[in-house]
Amino acid sequence: MTNTILHLDASPRLSDSVTRDLTSKIVSRWPEAQVIRRDLAKTPVPQLTDAWIAANFTPADQRSPEQAAELALSDALINEVTQADTLVIGLPVYNFAPPAALKAWIDHVARAGVTFRYTENGPEGLIHGKRVILAMASGGTGAGSEIDFASTYMRHILGFVGMTDVTLVAADQMALDAETSLAKASGQIEELTLAA
């Protein structure tokens, strides 16, 4: 069965980007995969607006054509996620957290009643059966450390919408020892299994 990959990059650096290099290497591990490409730097996702929020909280069968249009991009982004078997997400760390471009994508994808819902037992994610590989790069932030609000946040929000199978490839603390950090990340990529 062909694996479908959503290849998502968020770094504003269109060249010499560590996360772009890592995501490309990861995706190349599945040469027969069908790839859905989303580049959040080349085609930015807009921030949420008052009109978007009003449309989102209007029941689907009561939305005006204008409200449906407000949610069209969000619907398309969610559709890309649901089509994919595997998500490969570039995660550059900016000031200890994901960049704004990636946060904007999350805000469009994490939608109450669509990708998660609230129940009497608490929130429930509605996106299941996905594998996620995060390709993180940072200057000084250690992956999983108490100041890492990037990979820890991504694991939380992905799990919140139901995606709990998350693998981290980390070229972290590049400012301290770039060569060792890149070698470690390359080793992690080599260890990735090709099964979906």
Is 152 buried (19+), middle (13-18) or exposed (0-12) by CB count in 10 A?
Answer: middle
Structure token digits, residue 65 = 């054509």
**Residues 72, 116: Cα–Cα separation, whole Å:** 18
Known binding residues are 11
Contact 113, 76 (CB under 8 A): no
Known binding residues for FMN are 11
Structure token digits, residue 152 = 């820890």
Q: Which secondary-structure segment (H or E) carries 177?
A: helix 174-190
